Copies of this chain bind each other. A is one copy, B any other.
Amino acid sequence: MIIFRIDKFSCTDEPERSPQYQKLYEKLRKLIEDGYYKRGDLLPSENELCKAHSLTRPTVRKGLDLLVHDGFIIRQQGKGSIVQGRPREIGILSISGTTSAIGKEKLITRIIVKPTIIAWDNAFGYEISEADKSLGCITMERLRLINNLPVFYDITRMPNLNLPRFTSRSFENRSLFDILRKNYQIRVTGGEQKILATTPDAHIQKHLRVDVNHPILRLDRKMETNRVGFTFYSQIYCNTSDYSLSGRF
């Protein structure tokens, strides 16, 4: 008898079940983003949150740790958890993708080079494993416009793992990070980045509509995910004359 093993990289549209502390994080984060808790407010105390959500203090604290990490609250011993503010423009430097970094501005994504399978040449200065190298590389290039102004030019490269229907998906005005999370249960958990100021080559000049002396910010990023062994890479050119990048550290 032949058993068809379910591929690890299965393809569903269901939200992944998450631990309690992450659920609490999402709930509180939403309340802050929606303005229910305002800057300067105190969150309910840890013990109150325990009772309200039927959790214990270590679990509640783990949720609050995430909020601290993302800059939504600060904690003060003897006082409480002080709300810092709403969206706080978490920014491309610390969080997942370009899309979630923009906030309420109108973001348009234009595909310049559709997802294509090529051989690996390089990963923007980062080392790639032999395993990934043998798989080949999916590459794509996208232009991001904020309020109709071209601001970002993204080049993405990822190992050609068996992600069903991936190359045929439409990325027009959709977030790569959302697609990975919602359709393949892949979350970006962290990564490395290098940042430098440079001048644009002809390709970038054309798409970002700037001249050769216009300073451009470049990010080379390595993205690590919750899938063991799945990392991917991107290079982002930014015109920061109207929008600067922000983030926490």
Contact = CB atoms under 8 A, between A and B. Distances in A.
Interface of A: 58, 71, 74, 76, 93-95, 190-199, 213, 215-217, 220, 224, 228, 238, 240-241, 244-249
Given A93-B249, A196-B244, A240-B196, A213 B213 contact: yes
A95 B198 CA distance: 23
Given A71-B190, A195-B247, 19 more contacts: A58-B58, A74-B224, A93-B193, A93-B195, A95-B249, A190-B248, A191-B249, A194-B246, A195-B195, A195-B244, A195-B245, A196-B217, A196-B244, A197-B197, A197-B215, A197-B217, A197-B238, A213-B213, A215-B216
Contacts of A241: 196
12 contacts: A93-B195, A192-B246, A194-B244, A195-B195, A196-B245, A197-B198, A197-B217, A198-B215, A198-B240, A213-B213, A215-B215, A217-B217
Which of A71, A197, A199, A238 has the most chain B CB atoms closer than 10 A to its own CB? A197
Contacts of A74: 224
A216 B195 CA distance: 11
A141 to B, nearest CB: 20
Interface residues of A, dominant DSSP: strand
A247 B245 contact: no
A11 to B, nearest CB: 23
A198 B240 CA distance: 8
A186 B52 CA distance: 36
Given A247-B249, A248-B190, A249-B93, A228 B76 contact: yes
Given A215-B216, A244-B195, A249 B94 contact: yes
Nearest to A212: B213
Nearest to A199: B215
A67 to B, nearest CB: 13
